[in-house]
Structures are given as C-alpha cells and as structure tokens.
Structure 1
Amino acid sequence: MVDDSPLRTAVDTAWRVYRARHRDVDAADGRRCLLERHLQGRREARETNGDAQDLAGFGLAYLERLSGDEC
C-alpha cells in the first residue's frame, strides 16, 4: 500500500506557498488539481523518492511555470 501522507503534505505546502506569493489566486483555483496530478505522476514515475519537502519543491516550481490560461 502506498503512503499518501507525504504527497498530501507536499500538495498542501506547495499550494499554501504559491497562494502566499500570488494573493489573487483563489483557494478553489483549478491549478491545485493540476498540482495534485503532477505530483502524483512524479511519484508514480519514481522521479523522486516521495519525500514531502522534495515533492513540495517540485510542485512549487511546476505551479510557477503554469499560466492562468492552462487551468
């Protein structure tokens, strides 16, 4: 069984930091779903060891690359 705790922590952390940097982004913005999918895919592809801090860093970088039009 896969432990989703590091993934959930990473998503929450990256989203919280992103929203702090971008005050105009709503909590229900579609980018959060994209973030979750991206990090889940990274973890499943074993591109990272699943550490929450590493995943959060990857997630924040991913969000910064997204434009509002991709949501």
Structure 2
Amino acid sequence: MVDEAVLKNATETAWTVYRSRHPDVEAHDTRRCLLERHLHRRWEERESDTEELASFGIAYLHRLPRDEC
C-alpha cells in the first residue's frame, strides 16, 4: 500500500523544483497529474523514500515533451 505522506511529499518536492526551473508552467498544469500517476506507479513497483521518489519525478517531468502537455 502506498504511504500517502511519502507520495505527497515526493510529488510536492518534484513539482516545486520543476516549476522553479520552468516559471511558465502554471500550478495546475496537466503535468502535475501525470507526475502524480507516474510516482504512484513507481511506488507500487518499488518502495522508495521521499527523496528518491522526488528525484524520479523530476527526471520524469524533464522527459515529458512540452508540446504534449
């Protein structure tokens, strides 16, 4: 089962870092939902701590094509 606190903290951290590097991205951008789903799946595949999960999230966001979001 997903530890909601770990998942929430990792999502918030990844999203905050991503948005700080991309100020043109709005807070409720569709990438946020994609990030949440990705991290949830990642957690189910292999339990991770908040920092590791956040780093996976940041890498995932940087791989997303800008024109598909």
Normalising by structure 2, report the TM-score: 0.92
Matched positions, count: 69
Identify unmatched segments of 5+ residues in structure 2: none
How well do the aligned residues superpose, as a CA RMSD in angstroms?
1.1
2:44 matches 1:67: no
Deviations 1:6-29 (A, max 9, x none): 110000000000000001000010
Residue matched to 2:55: 57
| Alignment check: 8 A CA contact 1:7 1:50 kept | no
Alignment of 1:40-55 (within 5 A): 40-46=40-46, 49-55=47-53
Identify the structure with the greater helix proportion.
2
Identical-residue share of aligned pairs (%) = 61
